[in-house]
Amino acid sequence: MSIKKVLLSSVLILSPLAVAAEDLTIGFSQIGSESGWRAAETTVTKQQAEDRGITLKFADAQQKQENQISALRSFIAQGVDAILIAPVVATGWDGVLEEAKDADIPVILLDRTVDASDDLYLTAVTSDLVHEGEVAGQWLVDETAGAQCRIVELQGTTGSSPAIDRKTGFGNAIAGHDNLEIVRSQTGDFTRSQGKVVMESFLKAEGGENICALYAHNDDMAVGAIQAIKEAGLKPGEDIKIVAIDAVPDAHLAIAAGEMNATIELTPNMAGPALDALEAYLENGTVPAKWIQTESRLYTAADDNQAIYEEKKGLGY
């Protein structure tokens, strides 16, 4: 343990460290702006920091891990008090997280996890990504009620924890239901544009009349796919059932219009619980659980999606 840590721990034992939020400078390495949900997370995180008087150094990685690693090294060199990161992929973080640990800079993961020892980060604020996939799969099990259904899947960013876990969860839910089969599965990188392009390829390869449902790992890819389905002369939400994840405003709008069938909500407010845990840790040494879980709620046509759209549309998506 470094001498600084010894001093820090003794101080923490003797008295809470007087680290008021307004004295904090925090580095935030954000993946980019690949989806409406991501944009909302950025908006909420900046607002959370501002409300607490925290100085936030923001770095947009343009979806590149090397840019995130560079940003973290820059934050470490600047001697920030803590680091928030939404890790674009799950692997390749051990080195830079060790560097942060050696510099006694706590790291908190937002909305995605990493394949690294959990002593390399203070806590992770995420939903249960496997459960989200299971909820989506169970919705389709219920919706098809035993009828044959050929499914196409738009996966999230390759190697990201949501893409891995949401695929696992959906597979868990449809296992044992022989009427349900995933016939095509490909990444759309969590973006609307790629969701449209990949859905076009699915329609061309399979024939739209042979596709019963789309499972998209986020709403943005589903919204892109809806455009492709319409351009193919088919009715999204009717000819092809659509279930996705995030519950962004445009998903509620599509469900209200009958062009999408279900979405699972992911809160963009990961920073609130993260900063609460960080302040408790820095002020009185409270060590948080390694996982702070956010809720997941299914929305379908049974909900007042138009009203929910009106509520959510101003929240930075």
Which listed residue (24, 26, 28, 34) binds ligand GZL by CB under 6 A? 34
Beta strands in the chain (DSSP E): 25-30, 55-60, 82-85, 107-110, 123-127, 149-155, 180-187, 213-216, 241-246, 262-265, 291-294, 298-300
- Decide whether 112 or 241 has the Cβ nearer to ligand GZL: 112
Give the total of residues touching ligand GZL (CB under 6 A).
15
**CA 100 and chain centroid, separation:** 23
- Decide whether 29 or 144 has the Cβ nearer to ligand GZL: 29
**Helix, strand, coil shares, percent, the chain, to 5:** 45, 20, 35
Ranges within 256-285 binding ligand GZL (CB under 6 A): 266
CB of 140 to ligand GZL, least distance (A): 18
**Binding characters for ligand GZL, 159-188, by CB under 6 A (x = yes):** ---x--------------------------
E strand or H helix that includes residue 12: helix 3-14
Which listed residue (69, 105, 245, 255) binds ligand GZL by CB under 6 A? 245
Ranges within 86-115 binding ligand GZL (CB under 6 A): 111-112
Which residue(s) pair with 98 in the sheet? none
Q: Could you tell me if 154 and 191 are in contact, meaning their C-beta atoms sit under 8 angstroms apart?
A: no
Which listed residue (29, 35, 123, 194) binds ligand GZL by CB under 6 A? 35
- Decide whether 42 or 127 has the Cβ nearer to ligand GZL: 127
Amino acid residing at 134:
E
CB of 109 to ligand GZL, least distance (A): 10
CB of 128 to ligand GZL, least distance (A): 10
User: Which of 114, 167, 112 lies closest to 136 in space, CA to CA?
Assistant: 167
Which listed residue (81, 246, 259, 265) binds ligand GZL by CB under 6 A? 246
Quick check: 37 binds ligand GZL (CB under 6 A)?
A: yes
Q: CB-based contacts of 23: which residues, under 8 Å, 6+ apart?
A: 81
Which listed residue (24, 26, 30, 38) binds ligand GZL by CB under 6 A? 38
Binding span for ligand GZL by CB under 6 A among 34-42, 51-59, 225-233, 280-288: 34-42
β-strands 291-294, 123-127 pairing: parallel
Q: Mapping DSSP to helix (H, G, I), strand (E, B) and coil, where does residue 194 land? A: helix
CB of 218 to ligand GZL, least distance (A): 4
**Distance from C-alpha of 223 to C-alpha of 225, rounded to nearest angstrom:** 5
Binding span for ligand GZL by CB under 6 A among 3-11, 32-40, 251-259, 300-308: 32-40
**Binding characters for ligand GZL, 126-155, by CB under 6 A (x = yes):** xx----------------------------
| DSSP secondary structure letter of residue 286 | P
- Decide whether 127 or 194 has the Cβ nearer to ligand GZL: 127
Q: Could you tell me if 285 and 232 are in contact, meaning their C-beta atoms sit under 8 angstroms apart?
A: no
Letter string b/e over residues 255-294, b meaning 16 or more CB atoms within 10 A of that residue's CB: bbeebbbbbbbbbbbbbbbbbebbbebbeeeeebeeebeb
Binding site for ligand GZL (CB under 6 A): 34-35, 37-38, 111-112, 126-127, 162, 190, 218, 220, 245-246, 266
